[in-house]
């Protein structure tokens, strides 16, 4: 027979006390440091200080210039391929334990992925000549 009275109860609110204290300390420290820099820091606002600075190069033009959507599509496709590799790693490590069920699951994943890849090729997402 196991005596349950000996085991500590982990669901009490006192077990969250260290985390709460750490959060309160962190928020207090941040508020104190930001307040101190605001009160003690210099307040001389000149035209040179208020001007944007970008590596010593004079700024010209607007920041809101249109950009081709192809760059964003390429970034999204990179993330897609990266996630695919992340999903293949556990299968490669445990392929013996997963057996045929794991093989068919990975084959189905590759099939869905290839369907999406064929779709983006047909839509012209990888064609840069315009």
- Residue showing tokens 């391929």: 81
pLDDT for residue 28: 98
pTM beyond 0.85, yes or no: no
Answer whether residue 82 is part of any domain.
yes
Total number of domains constituting the chain: 1
Per-residue pLDDT of the chain (130 residues; tens, 9 = 90+): 555 555 555 667 778 888 999 999 999 999 999 999 999 988 888 887 777 766 766 667 676 777 777 777 778 888 888 888 888 888 888 888 888 998 999 899 889 888 888 888 888 777 776 5
Rounded Cα gap, residues 17 and 37, in angstroms: 30
Say which residues have a Cβ less than 8 Å from residue 84's Cβ, sequence separation at least 6.
Answer: 113
Answer whether residue 63 is part of any domain.
no
Range of the domain at 115: 69-122
Answer whether residue 60 is part of any domain.
no
Listing DSSP states for 95-109 in one string gives HHHHHHHHHHHHHHH
Answer whether residue 5 is part of any domain.
no
Answer whether residue 107 is part of any domain.
yes
Answer whether residue 90 is part of any domain.
yes
Q: Considering only CA atoms, which of 73, 68, 72, 83 is closest in space to residue 113? A: 83
Answer whether residue 25 is part of any domain.
no
Answer whether residue 102 is part of any domain.
yes
17 touches 25 (CB < 8 A): no
């Amino acid at each position: 027979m196991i005596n349950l009275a000996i085991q500590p109860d982990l669901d009490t609110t006192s077990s969250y006390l260290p985390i709460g204290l750490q959060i309160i300390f962190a928020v207090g420290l941040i508020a104190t440091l930001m307040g101190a820099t605001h009160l003690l820091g210099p307040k001389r606002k000149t035209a040179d200080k208020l001007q944007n600075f970008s590596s010593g190069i004079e700024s010209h033009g607007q920041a809101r210039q249109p950009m081709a959507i192809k760059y964003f599509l390429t970034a999204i496709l990179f993330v897609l391929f990266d996630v695919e590799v992340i999903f293949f790693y556990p299968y490669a490590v445990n392929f013996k334990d997963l057996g045929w069920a794991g093989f068919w699951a990975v084959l189905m994943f590759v099939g869905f992925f290839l369907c999406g890849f064929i779709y983006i090729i047909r839509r012209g997402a990888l064609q840069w000549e315009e």
